[in-house]
Amino acid sequence: MEAVIKARGLTKTYGKTKALDGVDLDLAPGRIMGLIGPNGAGKTTLLKSILGLAPVAGELSVLGMNPRTERSRLLEQVSFIADTAILPRWLKVSEALDYMTGVHPRFERERAEAFLARTGIKRQSRVRELSKGMLTQLHLALIMAIDSKLLVLDEPTLGLDILYRKQFYSSLLDDYFDADKTLLITTHQVEEIENLLTDVIFIKNGKLCLNVAMDDLDSLYTELHVSADRVDQAQALGPIYSRSALGGKAMIFEQVERARLAPLGETKTPSLADLFVAKMEAPHRPGAPASSGLEGVA
């Protein structure tokens, strides 16, 4: 099955700064991938390259197309929601529906109307009259009504309260996602999307420092809670991260058999948020595997 996104050696330089530094990526159909990294890590540049908005060196294919040279055709099958997405403030909701019906060949107005019927959004309301949460719901309704193969979401719930954020992701899964669609999501709210994802990428300084299926986290990473009297024993096994915990330390290990750690304390799979902190703070380890999902950190 052909990958929805296939990238090899993507590189992008702004002056002396490498926004992307040899990024390799494969995203299969029907997957939900989280792209997570600190500000300035290269997330936006990577998204722009996928959408054909930024030229990059290397090889990049999205739905079998070159995003730069075939962008018009690509955007018939790719949708995008960003935290900065705006509609004209004077525009009525009904006019937004009319516009999408006229310009996008894959827009299904009935689907948008059905979604809006479950909200408090009135068709005659203007954009300036909508709250931040309602505006996000309107964007989601317009996007979900497009029969896209790839949906890219860049901080889609930024600034929303927790109820709207929960509703957003529930609607995304219940009303949009299926085996024929693929989602790529960037967010700083890692905990809220952890249970949605099938795959996750961490990016740091333009390089991927994690690229793995969520199902593989159990076998790759272990968090150990160890008492103070056994910290030295645990430290000898080479944790990639350590923090203070009640009565001892919490440590995260990479590719250390859980059976070796279990005698030292309580073991579990780390949360995505804790693993993110660990990978962002971990130094480069020259011998770390790459394509298995453990690409070296710059």
Domain carrying residue 259: 215-279
Q: Are 248 and 226 in contact (CB under 8 A)?
A: yes
**Domain-embedded: residue 289:** no
184 and 250 in a single domain? The answer is no
Ramachandran angles phi, psi of 296, nearest 5°: -60, 145
Q: Give residue 298's pLDDT.
A: 28
* Position 171 confidence tier, pLDDT thresholds 50, 70, 90: confident
d(CA 195, CA 219) in angstroms, rounded, equals 17
138 and 258 in a single domain? The answer is no
Angle at CA of residue 111, ends 106 and 124, nearest 5°? 105
pLDDT digits (tens, 9 = 90+) for 58-110: 999 999 999 999 998 998 899 988 765 678 899 999 999 999 999 888 899 99
Q: Give residue 291's pLDDT.
A: 34
Query: Quick one: tokens of 259?
Result: 């059976």
122 and 254 in a single domain? The answer is no
**Domain-embedded: residue 295:** no
75 and 169 in a single domain? The answer is yes
Q: What total number of domains does the chain contain?
A: 2
49 and 159 in a single domain? The answer is yes
Q: Give residue 84's pLDDT.
A: 59
Q: Is residue 296 over pLDDT 50?
A: no
Q: Is residue 203 over pLDDT 50?
A: yes
Q: Give residue 1's pLDDT.
A: 66
**Domain-embedded: residue 290:** no
Chain-centre distance for alpha carbon 123 = 32
Q: Is residue 244 over pLDDT 50?
A: yes
**Domain-embedded: residue 267:** yes
265 and 148 in a single domain? The answer is no
Q: Give residue 283's pLDDT.
A: 63
Helix extents (H) in 194-235: 217-220, 231-235
Q: Give residue 2's pLDDT.
A: 84
Enter the DSSP assignment of 76.
T
116 and 220 in a single domain? The answer is no
pLDDT digits (tens, 9 = 90+) for 246-295: 889 999 999 999 999 999 999 999 999 999 999 998 764 543 433 334 33
42 and 19 in a single domain? The answer is yes
Q: Give residue 45's pLDDT.
A: 93
**Domain-embedded: residue 110:** yes
pLDDT digits (tens, 9 = 90+) for 124-151: 999 999 988 888 889 888 988 988 999 9
Ramachandran angles phi, psi of 275, nearest 5°: -65, -35
Q: Are 67 and 80 in contact (CB under 8 A)?
A: no
- Which distant-in-sequence residues (6+ apart) come within 8 Å of 273 by Cβ? 190, 191, 194
More confident position, 202 or 292:
202
Q: Give residue 39's pLDDT.
A: 87
pLDDT above 70 as % of the chain = 93
* CB atoms inside a 10 Å sphere around CB 240: 20
Query: Quick one: tokens of 298?
Result: 């710059």
234 and 270 in a single domain? The answer is yes
Q: How many CA atoms lie within 13 A of 22 on its CB side?
A: 7
18 and 50 in a single domain? The answer is yes
Q: What is the CATH number of the domain that holds 108?
A: 3.40.50.300
119 and 141 in a single domain? The answer is yes
Q: How many CA atoms lie within 13 A of 99 on its CB side?
A: 10
196 and 220 in a single domain? The answer is no
pLDDT digits (tens, 9 = 90+) for 6-37: 999 999 999 888 999 999 999 999 999 999 99
